[in-house]
Amino acid sequence: MSYLPTWIVVAVGLVLLVLVVIRVLRTVRRFGATAAVVNARFADGSGLLRARSAALRVAMKETRDRVKHASADVPSGRRGRQEDDRG
């Protein structure tokens, strides 16, 4: 009995396996590069959102402090009613 056909089938199978593994590795590498780009964009967007939130908190705090320390007098209230000044 000759084992030549078996060795041919095994060799062809190994060649096909190597080709499939190479193709899968290329695809995985492309996926990794795409995932890195997506992660970078997501990080940029979330960082921008954090910066905007921080700026909004600072602006709200400044506004609260300014309103808290502002006088409650209305400037026209010191002169009396304006209708009385018409003569």
For residue 84, what pLDDT is reported? 55
Domain residues of the chain, as ranges? 4-66
Length reported for the chain: 87
Give the separation between CA 53 and CA 47, rounded to whole angstroms: 10
List of residues 6+ apart from 82 with CB closer than 8 A: 76
- pLDDT block averages, 10 residues each, the chain of length 87: 90 98 97 96 94 95 85 58 56
Position 29, amino acid? R
Give the separation between CA 14 and CA 5, rounded to whole angstroms: 14
Position 20, amino acid? V
For the entire predicted model, the pTM comes to 0.51
